[in-house]
Chains A and B, each alone.
Chain A
Amino acid sequence: MNGSRLKQILSSGKFAVTAECGPPRGANTEVVRKKASFLKDCADAVNVTDNQTAIVRMSSLAACAHLMQMGIEPVLQMVTRDRNRIALQSDIMGAYSLGIRNILCLTGDHQTFGSQPDALNVFDIDSMNLLHAVRTMREVGTDMSGYKLDVAPRMFIGAAANPFADPFEYRVIRLAKKIAAGAEFIQTQCIYDMKRFKEWIKMAREQGLTEKVHILAGVTPLKSAGMAKYMAAKVPGMIVPEFLIKRMEGVPKEKAAEEGMKICLETIQEVRQIPEIHGVHIMAIEWEEKVQEIVKAAGLFPRPQPV
């Protein structure tokens, strides 16, 4: 079976592009296909979210399988909120058997944010433990109990990092822990506060972490001033600086999306100047059709062909 194309691109030193696809609230395959079709040629791999913000949606694993049928390489996102270690490991084995080669290990947003706040959570293990488990599968060939697996999943392992959450000094220690636990690539929270992002990268560089991992800078185009304000106020661990909100407010409503795109492109150009950044992760939330435009305008099109 083939390995990860994302890994191939990153290891060959090329600047990678990943995008995000949120599965629908329902079993509509067409929605997945439509969203994915916008991303097909402009991303090297597409993350499929796992009941993101705790809203019940089609499973990430199933949506990944749909993407694969379309010739798109998926990144299976997995949160530890809803499944215990038994279910998680079982799904990883299933994913690998379907040909999925990338995984992003997360803890997940708390269920009280979501569509069913009355649910019980699991949190049997955390994202760090999950990273460790997936790496052990690959390196040692065993599951978490030490049982030798008949064909152990060999995933390309990713983790998220949020340079904008507190306590700031700890954010680099956490990155180091994730790398030590098994993370080979990192996708960051979306960047609006470039100053803080650069500080984080600097600290990571000083500790020799950037040599050990591929960091993909997260970006999300803003659609409106309202969205900027919402993200600043309501999304946990997110910083949107005041000057950006002002900038979004400064243009007429019908021009706001355009301005948001501009900001997004400027961010991409700026992170490309940072040698330790090996790619960009575009999270165009319910705006997948914009990704191609972003990738083209950023001069990142066409994407390298798989070898």
Chain B
Amino acid sequence: MIVGEQKPLAEIKNIVAPYSKILILGCGTCVKTCFAGGEDEVATLASALRLSMKKDGREIKIDELTVERQCEDEFLRQAASNISGSEAVLSLACGAGVQMVADRFKKTPALPGVNTTFIGILEKQGLFTEKCLGCGDCVLDRFAGICPVTCCSKKLLNGPCGGSQNGKCEVNSDIECAWQNIIDRYKALGQMDRLTAYYPARDWRNSSAGGLRKLVREDHVI
């Protein structure tokens, strides 16, 4: 999923300061799962904002709505009347959702309420971990299912570096050394020979380095 975290209330207050009538628009998919922008978060944020504004002696009208996915017209369309009735939309979707709102509703400012952080997993209750950078050319088959591009702090294809100690990454001891994990898994899978292989420099053209990416699916074009 795409993992994000709600911005601090003080920052959100600053962002919505120029408006007196806003819509807080939630998204029911990724950001709901990571407790950043689903129905519940929309409601909590709306009350917190109202309360805080009131304390400051300011009036703000807040409309609340959550759609299934802000990144698809089919769902976003359901928000059309709420959006046109507001001066601005504070979107609690990921960055893609916010931009979709901006693109589809040209006259209404779309504001971000969430910091989109990474593509990751729910490691365990309350802990999300980054797993993929969307490099466009997946190499997980060669690295025992652990992504060196994302999980190694230096993106090493020929790791580990000289900073790996006791299974921890040199960057800080909260980070596991991806290469220690790769080696452990090679061992478990009986693939230790992979460790001696030289991995040539990557072709980054399929990653964000190649410019804005688009995916055309001819079979789906109508």
Q: A residues within 8 Å of B by Cβ?
A: 81, 85, 107-110, 112-113, 121, 123-129, 132-133, 144, 160-162, 165-167, 170, 173-174, 176-177, 180-181, 189, 236-237
**Further pairs besides A121-B154, A167-B180: 9, Cβ < 8 Å:** A110-B153, A123-B154, A129-B200, A166-B167, A166-B177, A167-B164, A177-B198, A236-B165, A237-B163
Contacts of A160 in B (CB 8 A): 162
Complexed CA–CA distance, A173 and B179 (Å): 13
A112 near B165 (CB under 8 angstroms)? no
Contacts of B161 in A (CB 8 A): 107, 165, 237
Of the candidates A177, A180, A181, A189, which one forms a contact with B162 in the assembled complex, judged by CB atoms under 8 Å apart?
A189
Could you show 20 A-B contacts with beta carbons less than 8 Å apart?
Answer: A107-B154, A109-B163, A110-B154, A110-B170, A110-B171, A113-B170, A124-B201, A125-B202, A129-B157, A129-B158, A129-B200, A132-B200, A160-B162, A166-B165, A167-B180, A167-B183, A170-B183, A177-B158, A181-B158, A181-B198
B201 near A125 (CB under 8 angstroms)? yes
Contacts of A108 in B (CB 8 A): 154
Contacts of A126 in B (CB 8 A): 154-159
B170 near A236 (CB under 8 angstroms)? yes
A170 near B154 (CB under 8 angstroms)? no
Complexed CA–CA distance, A234 and B156 (Å): 22
Q: B residues within 8 Å of A by Cβ?
A: 153-167, 170-172, 177, 180, 183, 195-196, 198-202, 204
B164 near A166 (CB under 8 angstroms)? yes
Of the candidates A81, A112, A132, A166, which one forms a contact with B198 in the assembled complex, judged by CB atoms under 8 Å apart?
A132
Complexed CA–CA distance, A113 and B170 (Å): 9
Contacts of B163 in A (CB 8 A): 109-110, 165, 236-237
Complexed CA–CA distance, A275 and B161 (Å): 27
Complexed CA–CA distance, A181 and B160 (Å): 16
Contacts of B164 in A (CB 8 A): 165-167, 236-237
Smallest beta-carbon distance A90→chain B, Å: 16
Complexed CA–CA distance, A133 and B200 (Å): 10
Majority SS at the chain B contact face: loop
Contacts of A144 in B (CB 8 A): 201
Contacts of A125 in B (CB 8 A): 201-202
A170 near B195 (CB under 8 angstroms)? yes
Between A129, A167, A176, the greatest number of chain B beta carbons within 10 A of the residue's beta carbon is seen for A167
Whether A170 touches B160, Cβ cut-off 8 Å, given contacts A109-B170, A236-B170, is yes
What is the chain B residue whose CB lies nearest that of A108? B154
Smallest beta-carbon distance A28→chain B, Å: 30
What is the chain B residue whose CB lies nearest that of A81? B154
Complexed CA–CA distance, A160 and B161 (Å): 10
A107 near B156 (CB under 8 angstroms)? yes
B195 near A237 (CB under 8 angstroms)? no
What is the chain A residue whose CB lies nearest that of B166? A166
Complexed CA–CA distance, A107 and B179 (Å): 15
4 smallest CB-CB distances across A and B, nearest first, come from A162-B162, A236-B170, A236-B163, A128-B158
B201 near A129 (CB under 8 angstroms)? yes
Contacts of A177 in B (CB 8 A): 158, 196, 198
A165 near B154 (CB under 8 angstroms)? no
Complexed CA–CA distance, A178 and B199 (Å): 12
Contacts of A166 in B (CB 8 A): 160, 164-167, 177, 180
What is the chain B residue whose CB lies nearest that of A161? B162
Contacts of B171 in A (CB 8 A): 110, 112
Contacts of B201 in A (CB 8 A): 85, 124-125, 129, 132-133, 144
Contacts of B165 in A (CB 8 A): 165-166, 236-237
Smallest beta-carbon distance B139→chain A, Å: 14
Complexed CA–CA distance, A112 and B170 (Å): 10
Complexed CA–CA distance, A113 and B169 (Å): 12
What is the chain B residue whose CB lies nearest that of A188? B162
Complexed CA–CA distance, A124 and B171 (Å): 18
Complexed CA–CA distance, A237 and B170 (Å): 8
A236 near B162 (CB under 8 angstroms)? yes
Contacts of A109 in B (CB 8 A): 163, 170
Contacts of A81 in B (CB 8 A): 154
A165 near B160 (CB under 8 angstroms)? yes
Complexed CA–CA distance, A96 and B195 (Å): 33
Contacts of A167 in B (CB 8 A): 160, 164, 180, 183
Contacts of B199 in A (CB 8 A): 128
Contacts of A132 in B (CB 8 A): 198, 200-201
Smallest beta-carbon distance B133→chain A, Å: 12
What is the chain B residue whose CB lies nearest that of A165? B162
Complexed CA–CA distance, A107 and B157 (Å): 11
Smallest beta-carbon distance A143→chain B, Å: 12
